[in-house]
Structures are given as C-alpha cells and as structure tokens.
C-alpha cells in the first residue's frame, strides 16, 4: 500500500523533567533536514574512487507557528517567561489650561524621574515630568483632549528577555504527522511520529511584521547526539532521532514469514526451567513478538503462556510447538536426560 506524508506535523516539546514547554497545533512549517559530509578516498592510476567515508552527520529543522507564541520565543532566547512588567501605556487625558492628571501610575524608565509623553494639537509631541500623576505642558493656554504615554506596571503582562549572551534551550521534540493512502477508502491510514531526543534551539529567529501580513513565530533547532537505551558493546551508539510509522489496524504478524527459537533445540535438567526466546521473522527484521499473541503447546512437558518450560520428570525428548495468531508456527525439541 502506497503511503504519503501529508501537511504539517503537530509538535510537542518537553524539557529535561518531561514538562511540556511547547505545543504547536497551528503550524505553517515543521520540517527537518539530515545532512552528511563525505570524504572521498582515491588512489591508483587515474585517482579512482576507492571508498567514500561518511561523517559530520547533522539533523536540523524548523518549526513555524502561525500564532504568536511566547513559549517559542522563550525557548529561542533561553529566558523564562515572567509575569508582571513595566508596559508602555497610553490614555486620553483632558487638559485645562495645559494641566491634567493621568489615572494610571507612571513609572520612571531608566532613572528616578518620571516622564510622560504628550501628543496634542497638530500632532505635537512633548515630554513632561509627572508629579503624583499630574503634569503640565509648555502651552498653558491649551485645553482639550491629549494622548499621554508612559510606563506603568501591569501585573498580568508576560515578558521574555532577549539576553545579550543567550543560552537557548535543549528540548525533546515529538512530531506527529498524518499518513494517507490512495488505496484506502478512508484515506488516512496512520501517522508518522518523529522523536528528536535532544533538539538544541539555535536562538536565531526573525519575526517579520508587514502591513498586509500576519507575523508568524519561528523556531530553528539542531539535534544533539543522544545515547539511546542500549546495553553492552552497543552502549556507545548514539542517534539524533527516530522515525516511527504507525499504520492503523496493522498487526505485528502481518508481515511475519516465520517464527524461530534462539538457540534451537536444547537440553533441560529434570524440574529445571528455561524461558523460550522466540523471534518473529519478517522480510526486514527479526524481533521479539508479544508472547500473549503466541500459543505454546507440548505433550509431557509444562510450558506456560509466557514460554517458561519446566523439565519433565519422566525424561526423554518432547516437542513444543509455538504458533502465532496466524498459521505461522515453529517447533523446538526439549531433551531431559
């Protein structure tokens, strides 16, 4: 069945404590790019290509939110979102003989002097000093409405600092995007799930504000190497991401062509136990199947639904048949001395 990856992904980002720090449900873009550097090894007459050494692998990507997102700006800036800030505020004030009062509480911006900026008349702007909310403009003959702008504290405002020495966040990204097929009547047949274990936000972003457009919020990232959960000699193997394909109503045994027991036939002492290590064989993989989907059957031997075999007290050889939910099965001979 042919499958197509359609539209943008929904994206969720998690911090190192598995708290959700990003949710993108209205994205314009959710792309990723894998790049590999190559060094040619050439030798011999004509300097023929003998080998290509791949190296410097890099996985990077971009997320663009159609909505304004303080969460994404916070991750890019490497600064927390704080509540409460001094905000540029404006209000209309009626002056009498050049004097008036604001209803808010103006604050000094970078010094102890509290200023306000008054616009009136034929767009005349003037800085005034505010004393206990009151001020007077230079034109003491002016009466009427003016626009007064000043800094005031807003307890509900959200703020992110763009630090001059940024330290952008490292998060885990999970991207989910629909899989569609022309061969299926319901069209959507599953989804692809991309997990980037350690996405380092680059910190670079542009918010473009144009007179005829809607500004989007971008987030660019580069994947850092991550040691996936492995043991033994493979413990040094590192990855950037994994891509999982989930097709609805697909079963693990649909593509299985055979079952096998690791090690094949074996001997087992009387009353001793051993768990059968079963593998399902497909054209592309050999994997451990869910034991609850297997049936274990044997005569003169105790074998549980989890594949635990107990050596027969009567001795001799017995055959155990393992069957999947399809007609695929395998056998193993257990010999008890």
Q: What is the pLDDT, as a whole number, of residue 276?
A: 92
**Gap between the Cα atoms of 186 and 182, Å rounded:** 9
Q: What is the pLDDT, as a whole number, of residue 184?
A: 65
Q: Where in the chain is the domain with CATH 2.60.40.1080?
A: 258-336
CA angle 17, 220, 88 (to 5 degrees): 85
Q: What is the CA radius of gyration of the chain?
A: 34
Q: What is the pLDDT, as a whole number, of residue 229?
A: 67
**The CATH fold of domain 258-336:** Immunoglobulin-like (2.60.40)
pLDDT in tens, 117-152: 999 987 789 999 999 999 999 999 999 999 999 999
Q: Where in the chain is the domain with CATH 2.30.110?
A: 4-39+48-79+165-244
Q: What is the pLDDT, as a whole number, of residue 299?
A: 75
Nearest in space to 335 (alpha carbons), one of 268, 278, 274 = 268
Which regions in the chain score pLDDT beneath 70?
Answer: 1, 184-186, 229-236, 313-315
**The CATH fold of domain 4-39+48-79+165-244:** Pnp Oxidase; Chain A (2.30.110)
């Amino acid at each position: 069945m042919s499958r197509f990856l359609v539209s943008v992904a929904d994206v969720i980002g998690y911090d190192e404590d598995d708290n959700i720090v990003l949710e993108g449900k209205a994205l314009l873009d959710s792309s990723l790019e894998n790049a590999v550097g190559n060094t040619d090894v050439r030798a011999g007459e004509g300097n023929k290509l003998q080998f290509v050494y791949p190296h410097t692998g890099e996985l990077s990507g971009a997320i663009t939110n159609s909505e304004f997102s303080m969460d994404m700006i916070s991750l890019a800036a490497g600064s927390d979102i704080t509540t409460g800030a001094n905000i540029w505020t404006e209000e209309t004030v009626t002056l009498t003989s050049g004097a008036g009062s604001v209803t808010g509480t103006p604050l000094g911006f970078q010094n102890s002097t509290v200023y306000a900026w008054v616009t009136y008349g034929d767009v005349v702007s003037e800085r005034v000093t505010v004393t206990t909310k009151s001020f007077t403009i230079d034109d003491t003959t002016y009466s009427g409405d003016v626009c007064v702008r000043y800094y005031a504290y807003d307890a509900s405002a959200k703020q992110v600092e763009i630090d001059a020495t940024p330290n952008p966040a490292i998060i885990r990204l999970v991207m989910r995007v629909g899989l569609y097929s022309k061969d299926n009547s319901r069209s959507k047949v599953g989804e692809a799930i991309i997990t980037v274990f350690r996405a380092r936000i680059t910190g670079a972003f542009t918010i473009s504000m144009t007179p005829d457009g809607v500004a989007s919020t971008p987030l660019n990232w580069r994947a850092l190497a991550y040691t996936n959960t492995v043991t033994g000699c493979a413990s040094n193997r590192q990855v950037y991401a994994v891509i999982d394909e989930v097709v609805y109503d697909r079963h693990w045994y649909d593509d299985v062509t055979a079952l096998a027991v690791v090690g094949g036939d074996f001997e087992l002492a009387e009353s001793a136990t051993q768990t059968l290590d079963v593998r399902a064989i497909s054209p592309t993989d050999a994997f451990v199947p869910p034991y609850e989907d297997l049936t274990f059957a044997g005569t003169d031997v105790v074998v549980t639904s989890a594949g635990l075999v107990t050596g027969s007290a009567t001795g001799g050889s017995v055959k155990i048949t393992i069957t999947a939910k399809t007609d695929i099965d395998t056998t193993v001979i257990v010999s008890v001395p």
